[in-house]
Amino acid sequence: MRIVNIIFDDFIQLKQDLEKNKITKQTQEKYFIQIFMGIIDKEIAQDLVNFFNKELHCEVLLTQSAKENISHTKILNSKILISVSCFEHSNIKSTYCPATLNANQVSKQIQQIVTPKTKLLILFVACGSFDHEDILGTLRRDMPHVIICGGRSWLYSGHTGLVGDKDGIYLEGLVCASIDSDVLYVQNNYIFGWEKIGLSMTITKSQNNIVEEINHQKALDIYKKYLGTHIFKNLEASNYTLPLVYYKDGIPLARVIYKILEDGRLVFNDALPEGTKVNFAFGLLENIQKETMEVRAKIPSNTQGIYFYSCVARMMFLGKNNLSDLLHSFDNIPSAGFFTSGEAYCSKDQGMFLGLTNTFVSLVEEKPEFSNETLQSTKEIKLDARSLTVDTMSHLMRATNQEILQLANKFEAYQQLVDGTMLHIFTDENLNILYTNEKMSEKSLYTQEELLGKNCLEFLDEEQKNQVISDILPVLYEKREWVGKLRQTKKDGTAYYVKLAVKAILNEKGEVTNYVIGELDDTEDELELISLRNDTHLLKKSIETKRYLLEQYNNIIDKNQSLFRLDLNKNFTYANEIFLKITGLKLENIIGRNVYEFIQEDEKWQFENVQKDLMQKGSYHGILEYTRPDGKKVYVKSAGYFIKDPNEIPIEIMAVGFDITQIIENIKEIETIQKDVIYAMGTICEGKSRETGNHIIRVAEYSALLAKLYGCSKEEQELLRIASPMHDIGKVGIADSILNKPGKLTPEEFEIMKTHTTIGQDIFKNSDRLILRTAGDIAGTHHEWWNGSGYPNQLSGEDIPLFGRITTIADVFDALSNDRCYKKAWPLPDVLEHIKSLRGKQFQPELVDLFLDNIDQFLEISKKYQDVV
């Protein structure tokens, strides 16, 4: 391979340069021609395409570049640069995709020029045609073996920029060339160098590349706040200095504004999805030099050519001379490229448009060789006064930014501590609520949305409000803090009591900007004090009267609740008749003996939890399962407490409870009926398609086992076991002629068959029952693929519900392992190899690994529930 670059003056000179470099129709070389237009002239562009169509057997890609282009690592102020790549062992094909196509349609068209031997795709996109990453993401998904490079045409004022191929010149869409070879080695790299500054922000409202809100504020106001209004006076120059940066698949993406709409929304050079965490960033020459050294050392030492596709902002930031110096380390390798409005790049798993980045691909038409020698240095950049100032400022910003982030991390840790331990409110200077934590919502019964923007005084009754205004606020305004107790009102009108601390936050002028409020729930203690005050008359009674009253209280408890007492060694000291009736024990057999002597081994864990709660909280509340001596199970809703002496030292344990065995058994009966109904419905559905009831049993057991291996709770495993048999319930709506067709379905029949997923989901979508809603989710998603190519909604990754991801493996394994009306069962090795081949495509990789690593357990289920012949 070789690269010949020609600066175009006229067609006579062009023909002479081609002949001088032995580029003719008569050679065996295959020619790929890249034309970088530094001017806007559609007529000349078309003449150049016509010229090459006549003079050579070649493929042509043309794009609008900035005024400068890259030729053999030098930045040339050329009007038109023509780069001819001469291949000995590679083939080139090209195609054009209009902007009217969507991402999937573009991918299908480009796949027509892609083969298993394709090593590289070069795309030139007319700026403004595809302002989102779906195009590159889809190409990467559909052609994971191909490296993608290129970029958008340069956007001149009022013009989208030209793109072209051998068939014509276009003002929209994209052109693409593929390079096929048995021996070509291609490696892609990038050089970034921008460093995040300031705190992370979140894109909270956006659509494709149009951003309306950042951190729930107008995006325009965020830019005015941090960068000032002057940046909008010269947006092109200042905007590139401080881009927004985020990471995708470990790759840094920079986004800059290139237009402000009349309503204040910001149009960026590429998509910024809602929920994306972004930072402003600033270029650091030291970082750029370091990254240049690193990527240069990684490319093969026998590299024959390089294509550079670099963001024009690199030159706007670094300057032409500085950027040339950085590319100096590539001087010994022929190269060509242009400055883009967004450079195309593919990572391991993603295709994306970068920004403010140097991207390049290195090519060699032979076995690549890698040197162990470390590249010593790039040419040292000699900074002029302006560059020196910029570099100094960037170091200052880096040091300051690190201090800010340390403070932010400390603040976040404090906030998490406060959020986890108390009711937490953050207000403005007028006590209007700006933030509350979940504990506040749980206690007050107001949602966070209902609390935000409201004044703290609105949640006090009139008596407390008047007290706060007259007694507390004057102290708060004077001392900037206040600590005390308050009664507040829940949404349902009931009162609760808090210990409260308020602290003012001041600005540099000493003015209050915000208040931080921390509250500890004191309701229980306060009500106890109120109760003691209300019951002081009891303290005035005589000893005999107090004893008589206490006996009455104990008799009421004894006759209505199970009650027993233990000493601190867990030995019985008392049990009432209700306790003995529930447990089937006899008083004479338990007094003085340890409670654990009467508990079966597999039930002791419950009582160990009781002990743990008593030690940590001083009390226990919950439901205990107990097996009586006669083998009958009972369920008791229990509460246990330490009884303490006046010095708060525990002296014994007392527990009370209610027998709820009948309630639990009724619930279990209902669950059993639900299971039977679901299995019956699943069996009916499978019978309709001539499949055995054992299929749904196996799928249910496989699914539950895989959920267990994945770490799901026992409740989740059981829910999946019950719901998964309904995965094909939608087949009740499919004609028998299609369901039971012995041969392959036609495309039209398959489209009908695919609707069984949506039919199944629709059956249960309005149910109030968790089991049925779960069954609907599984029915609707068990044919979605991990890589997004499934149906009905092309969900991908973790957007597919976990139960759907699990059931699809169970369903496919069972379908392939057993006879169906349209096929015979596959041999087990073929089944396992097929599932392994779909790892990361149809199936979640972690689930496939768990399945294959534990295949013996799945085969045991298969054997246990095999079909009866």
Residue 191 has pLDDT above 60, yes or no: yes
Structure tokens at 206: 């956006």
Mean pLDDT of 341-367: 90
Structure tokens at 731: 């087949």
SS3 assignment, position 359: strand
Task: Give the helix/strand (H/E) hosting 435.
Answer: strand 433-436
Mean pLDDT of 815-836: 85
Residue 14 has pLDDT above 70, yes or no: yes
How far apart are alpha carbons 847 and 806 in whole angstroms? Answer: 7
- Which tens digits make up the pLDDT trace of 36-61? 998 888 999 999 999 999 999 999 99
How far apart are alpha carbons 78 and 778 in whole angstroms? Answer: 60
- In the structure, what pLDDT confidence band is assigned to residue 235 with cuts at 50, 70 and 90? low
321 versus 123: the higher-pLDDT residue is 123
- Of the candidates 770, 801, 772, 765, the residue with the CA atom closest to the CA atom of residue 784: 801
Domain range summary for the chain, segments of one domain joined by +: 2-191+288-364, 194-283, 422-527, 541-659, 667-864
How far apart are alpha carbons 657 and 635 in whole angstroms? Answer: 10
pLDDT of residue 549: 47
Mean pLDDT of 651-659: 86
496 versus 686: the higher-pLDDT residue is 496
Q: Is the dihedral of CA 590, 592, 598, 604 positive or negative?
A: positive
pLDDT of residue 670: 54
How far apart are alpha carbons 199 and 211 in whole angstroms? Answer: 19
- Which tens digits make up the pLDDT trace of 566-601? 998 899 998 988 899 999 999 989 999 998 899 988
Residue 545 has pLDDT above 60, yes or no: no
Mean pLDDT of 153-181: 87
612 versus 532: the higher-pLDDT residue is 612
Using a cut of 0.85, tell me whether the model's pTM lies above it: no
**398-422 b/e with 16+ CB inside 10 Å = b?**
beebeeebeeeeeeeeeeeebbeeb
SS3 assignment, position 138: helix
Q: Are 422-527 and 541-659 equal in CATH topology?
A: yes
pLDDT of residue 689: 41
pLDDT of residue 107: 95
Q: Please, are residues 29 and 43 in contact by the beta-carbon 8 Å criterion?
A: no
Mean pLDDT of 508-523: 84
Mean pLDDT of 620-643: 88
262 versus 534: the higher-pLDDT residue is 262
Question: Which of 62-76, 554-568, 618-632, 832-846 is modeled with the greatest confidence?
Answer: 832-846
Structure tokens at 5: 């670059």
Residues 6+ apart with CB under 8 A from 325: 378, 379, 380, 381, 382
Give the phi and the psi of residue 763 in degrees, each rounded to 5. -60, -40
Specify the range with the lowest mean pLDDT, choosing from 409-423, 462-476, 727-741, 743-757: 409-423
814 versus 679: the higher-pLDDT residue is 814
Specify the range with the lowest mean pLDDT, choosing from 276-280, 376-380, 624-628: 376-380
DSSP code per residue over 44-113: HHHHHHHHHHHH-SEEEEEEE--S-EEETTEEE--SEEEEEEEESSEEEEEEEE-TTS-HHHHHHHHHTT
pLDDT of residue 743: 78
pLDDT of residue 701: 93
- Which tens digits make up the pLDDT trace of 719-744? 898 888 888 888 888 887 887 787 78
Three-class HEC string of 390-406: HHHHHHHHHHHHHHHHH
pLDDT of residue 52: 97
pLDDT of residue 246: 93
β-sheet with 343-346: strand ranges across = 90-97, 174-181, 118-125, 147-152, 343-346, 351-353
Q: Please, are residues 719 and 774 in contact by the beta-carbon 8 Å criterion?
A: yes
pLDDT of residue 617: 82
Task: Give the helix/strand (H/E) hosting 280.
Answer: strand 277-283
111 versus 291: the higher-pLDDT residue is 111
316 versus 184: the higher-pLDDT residue is 184
pLDDT of residue 681: 58
Residue 539 has pLDDT above 50, yes or no: no
pLDDT of residue 127: 83
Give the phi and the psi of residue 652 in degrees, each rounded to 5. -165, 175
CATH of domain 667-864: 1.10.3210.10
332 versus 668: the higher-pLDDT residue is 332
- Of the candidates 787, 784, 805, the residue with the CA atom closest to the CA atom of residue 349: 787
Structure tokens at 157: 């004022």
- In the structure, what pLDDT confidence band is assigned to residue 103 with cuts at 50, 70 and 90? very high
436 versus 844: the higher-pLDDT residue is 844
- In the structure, what pLDDT confidence band is assigned to residue 606 with cuts at 50, 70 and 90? confident
Task: Give the helix/strand (H/E) hosting 678.
Answer: helix 661-688
Any idea which residue has 């936050």 for tokens? 505
Residue 555 has pLDDT above 90, yes or no: no
612 versus 851: the higher-pLDDT residue is 851
pLDDT of residue 404: 64
Residue 552 has pLDDT above 80, yes or no: no
How far apart are alpha carbons 378 and 372 in whole angstroms? Answer: 17
Mean pLDDT of 161-183: 95
Specify the range with the lowest mean pLDDT, choosing from 27-41, 206-220, 386-400, 487-501: 386-400
Average pLDDT value for the chain? 84
Residue 611 Cα distances to 580, 642, 660, angstroms: 21, 10, 22
Mean pLDDT of 716-720: 90
SS3 assignment, position 540: coil
Give the phi and the psi of residue 127 in degrees, each rounded to 5. -55, 130
Residues 6+ apart with CB under 8 A from 384: 319
Residue 205 has pLDDT above 70, yes or no: yes
Mean pLDDT of 808-820: 88
pLDDT of residue 556: 54
Q: Is the dihedral of CA 523, 525, 526, 530 positive or negative?
A: positive
Specify the range with the lowest mean pLDDT, choosing from 121-135, 220-234, 523-537, 853-867: 523-537
507 versus 585: the higher-pLDDT residue is 585
How far apart are alpha carbons 38 and 154 in whole angstroms? Answer: 9
Q: Please, are residues 851 and 813 in contact by the beta-carbon 8 Å criterion?
A: yes
- Of the candidates 206, 260, 209, 255, the residue with the CA atom closest to the CA atom of residue 231: 260
How far apart are alpha carbons 3 and 33 in whole angstroms? Answer: 10
Write out the CATH class of domain 422-527: alpha beta
Fold of 541-659: Beta-Lactamase (3.30.450)
